[in-house]
Every structure is written in C-alpha cells, then in structure tokens.
Amino acid sequence: MNKALTINDTDNVAVALTDLLKDEIVQIDGEELSLTADIKAKHKIALKDFAEGEKIYMYGVIVGEASEAIGKGQPITTENVVHHASSYELENRKQVTWDAPDVSKWRNRTFNGYHRRDGQVGTANYWLVFPLVFCENRNIEVIKKTFEKTLGLEKEVQYEAYLRSLVEQYRFNGGDLKDTEPPPIPEVTNHISDKPELFAELAYRPQCSGDLGHRLQRTFDTGFRTDLDRIVVIGADCPEITTHHLEQAFDQLKSHDVVLGPAQDGGYYLVGLSQICADLFQGIAWGTGQVFRQTVAIAARLNLSLATLETLRDVDYPEDISIFEQALCCPS
C-alpha cells in the first residue's frame, strides 16, 4: 500500500496517507525517501532540499514558500513555510476536452436519480467545502459569516452591542465620557436579525409565546387589525409548496372563510383566513396526525366555509430529507 503520494508531476512535496515514523523509508513515485521526523497522516513531506525563499509546489501550483532551509524527507509545517499562492487569471485557463465513455452496457438499467425539466436526468448536487492544509482556513469563516449576514442569521457579538452603547453615550454627552459611568455590558440572545439583508423589503415580526394555535391566532388578529382582508400563513418545512399554491389560497379566500393546505402527515402546510375566527385554533392536538381533521371539524362547528388545496409532503424527520432534495432538483 502506498503510504504517500504526489498530486501533480510538478509537485515537490508529497502527502502522507498514514502516520509515518522517523527513519521510515517510503516509496514515492518509484523512489525511496527516508523520513527525518515523524509525520502525521495528511501532512506534507519535502521531496527535495529547500533553500530559504524557495517555492513549494502542490496540485501543480505554488502553495507556499520556505521560511527556512528544509531538508529532504522533513515534514512541511507552519513553522518552516509561509503562505504564497500562484496568481490566477481567467485568460490563462486551458481548454478542456472530454470524450464521452461507452455506456452501452448500462442500457435499460436504472438508478436512484431525478428527472430534470430539460428532459435530462441526474443525481442530487451537493456543495462541499474542504479547507486544505495550505488553504487559509480563515476564508471558510469569512464565507460562513457572509452567508449568515445575508440570510439574516448573524448573531450579535456581546461586545459589539457594548461598543454601540458607548458610542450612543458619547454622542449623548456631547463627545465627553470622562464624567460618565460606563454602560453595563448588554445581554445578547442568539436571535435572528430583525432586519436581514436578504428580502430586506419585507416586514419581519417576532412570534409571540404559547403553542402553535396561540401564535397563529395572534398572527391573524394582528394582520386583520392592520386592514388586511385576506391572510395566508405557510410553514417553513414544506419544500413542495409553490407560488401556485399561494395564488390558489388567496383566490379561495375571496369566497371562503378558511383555506387549508393539508400535509400528508395529517397536519397542514398552509392556513388562510378572510376574517378573524377566534376559536378556530383552540383545542387542537398540535404536532399530531389529527391537526387537519380537528381543524376541519372546528370550522364546521363554527359555520365557517372551508376550501382545501392539494395534499403535499413536509419535512419532520431526518428520513424526510429526500423530500427536500427532490424539490430542489425537480421544482414544480
């Protein structure tokens, strides 16, 4: 079994595939290399003697520069290498050609895939980010924070709130803080931003406390008090819902008091009202398979006209994640 390998013919360092010991001799590209120190799996090994300032190549590109002399067979570490990267220009990209393989032996075979709207088929696509040893891992954190900020999921750092308090106090006192008591460090809860950058044109309001029925009732009451004549609430766990379902719901509310979008598990992914229905959400066993049936029964008892949409699936358990994947790959 190979214990180390190179990625590209031009590489002057190799990757250890397993933990290696000092004085161990390993075969790399047909040549024997004696190790001068213990080297852990996935770490890099010098294939030549490096002088200070000499470039280190991996993946066929420059990935670092020796900060001191490095002997052949010595491990490459953050102690003897500094970051250095090759420049990259789109104009210098190589033209890649690809010859389709012979797939005749798989004719009339099937696989677990998805039909795409253009008539092709494929498998699910996933984005994977691998922070490499020679990659500045801080970049991964930058990407993560960018996503969180844009999606409104960024959590406020305690001392950022404290600094804002100091700035506000400074302005209030006309630019003088020497005779004032410093503000207490504010408590910061892990909440979603009240004003995410994504869809910033929308209004965001926190939910009230209580069970789902109480929160639904408060949402509809608040909406109708602001002169809305039709309100639709949807869940965040139904990837199959589309704008068509929303349009249908609002259209049904022109002639019905209540509209429900039943979920396959016995709940519902959508509920809409055209008027305040004070008792509609009372006495329901939330989180069970009886929610839709009980709501329909209460609506009938209150003499409310009811319309229903098509039944959809929602995501409640880990095994339901395939529903989400199918909705992403094959949107309606």
In a domain, 99, yes or no: no
Same domain, 232 and 269: yes
Same domain, 216 and 198: no
Q: Give the closest residue to 35 by CA, choosing from 66, 71, 5, 63.
A: 71
Say whether 76 sits in a helix, a strand or coil: strand
Question: How many domains does the chain divide into?
Answer: 3
For 26-64, the three-class secondary structure string (H helix, E strand, C coil) is EEECCEEEECCCCECCCCEEECCCECCCCEEEECCEEEE
When pLDDT is averaged across residues 192-202 and rounded to a whole number, the result is: 58
Same domain, 180 and 225: no
pTM for the full model?
A: 0.44
Q: Is the pLDDT of residue 109 over 60?
A: yes
Nearest-angstrom CA–CA distance, 69 and 86: 21
Least confident of 31-45, 113-127, 142-156, 316-330: 316-330
Condensed to tens digits (0 to 9), the pLDDT of residues 237-266 reads 888 888 999 999 999 999 999 999 999 889
Sign of CA dihedral 260, 265, 267, 271: negative
Same domain, 185 and 227: no
CATH number of 26's domain: 2.30.130.110
Same domain, 224 and 304: yes
Structure tokens of 205?
Answer: 């309001």
Same domain, 42 and 145: no
Same domain, 186 and 218: no
Residue type for position 172 = F
In a domain, 96, yes or no: no
In a domain, 125, yes or no: no
Domain encompassing residue 143:
137-202
CATH number of 248's domain: 3.90.550.10
In a domain, 119, yes or no: no
